[in-house]
C-alpha cells in the first residue's frame, strides 16, 4: 500500500494512474459526492473544480429549476476538496459557515464549481466558489469559512 498526500492521490485519480493500494488519510470521493454524481475535474494546492450533471428529474425544485441546495452542495464539495489538498496526515477540517447568492437559474445540464482560497490562514481559511452552467455564466456565488483541525481535534473526523 502507498500512503499519498491528498493532492497526489487526486492528481493520480485525475490522470488515471491510481494503483491498487494507493490511499490517503481522507476519504475520496466522499459518500455524498458519489451519491450525487460529482467528479473532480481539476485539482491543485488549495484549488479544486468539481463537475456534475444537473437532471431536472432528480435535482429540480417546485419551479423546475435546479434546487439551490444542490448548487450549494456542489460548491461545498469543491471547497472541501480544495481544502483537503492542504491537509497533512493527522489533520482534518470542518466547515464553519457557507453562504450562497443565486444569480441566475439553471434547468439542466453540466455544472462546474471552482473553489479557491480568498484568504489562507493557519487555522481559518476563507474560500470563494463560483458555480457555472454550460454557457460559462455563473448560477451561484458561494463563500465558506473552513477551520483546520489538528491533533486531538482532528481525531475521528
- Contact between 113 and 78 under an 8 Å Cβ cutoff? The reply is yes
pLDDT confidence of residue 155:
80
Question: What secondary structure does DSSP assign to 116-153, as a single string?
Answer: EEEEE-SSEEEEEEEEEETTS-EEEEEEEEEEEEEGGG
Burial class (CB in 10 A: 0-12, 13-18, 19+), 29: middle
pLDDT confidence of residue 121:
96
The sign of the CA dihedral 72, 76, 78, 79 is positive
pLDDT confidence of residue 1:
61
Q: Which of the four CATH numbers 3.20.20.80, 2.60.120.10, 3.10.129.10, 3.30.1360.120 does domain 2-154 have?
A: 3.10.129.10
Look at residue 82 and give its three-state secondary structure: helix
pLDDT by 10-residue block (mean), the chain, 157 residues: 90 95 92 97 98 97 97 98 96 96 98 98 97 98 97 76
**116 CB-near residues (< 8 Å, 6+ apart):** 46, 47, 82, 127, 128, 129
pLDDT confidence of residue 26:
93
- Contact between 83 and 93 under an 8 Å Cβ cutoff? The reply is yes
Domain locations along the chain: 2-154
Confidence (pTM): 0.95
For 124, the grid coordinates are 481559518
Amino acid at each position: 500500500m502507498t500512503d499519498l498526500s491528498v493532492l497526489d492521490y487526486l492528481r493520480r485519480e485525475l490522470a488515471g494512474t491510481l494503483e491498487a493500494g494507493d490511499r490517503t488519510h481522507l476519504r475520496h470521493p466522499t459518500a455524498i459526492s458519489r451519491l450525487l454524481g460529482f467528479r473532480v475535474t481539476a485539482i491543485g494546492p488549495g484549488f479544486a473544480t468539481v463537475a456534475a450533471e444537473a437532471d431536472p428529474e432528480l435535482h429540480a425544485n417546485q419551479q423546475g429549476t435546479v434546487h439551490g441546495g444542490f448548487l450549494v452542495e456542489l460548491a461545498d464539495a469543491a471547497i472541501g476538496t480544495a481544502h483537503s489538498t492542504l491537509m497533512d496526515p493527522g489533520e482534518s477540517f470542518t466547515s464553519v459557515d457557507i453562504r450562497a447568492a443565486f444569480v441566475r437559474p439553471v434547468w439542466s445540464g453540466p455544472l462546474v464549481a471552482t473553489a479557491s482560497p480568498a484568504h489562507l490562514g493557519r487555522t481559518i481559511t476563507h474560500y470563494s466558489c463560483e458555480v457555472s452552467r454550460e454557457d460559462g455564466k455563473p448560477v451561484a456565488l458561494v463563500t465558506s469559512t473552513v477551520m483546520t483541525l489538528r491533533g486531538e481535534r482532528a481525531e475521528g473526523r
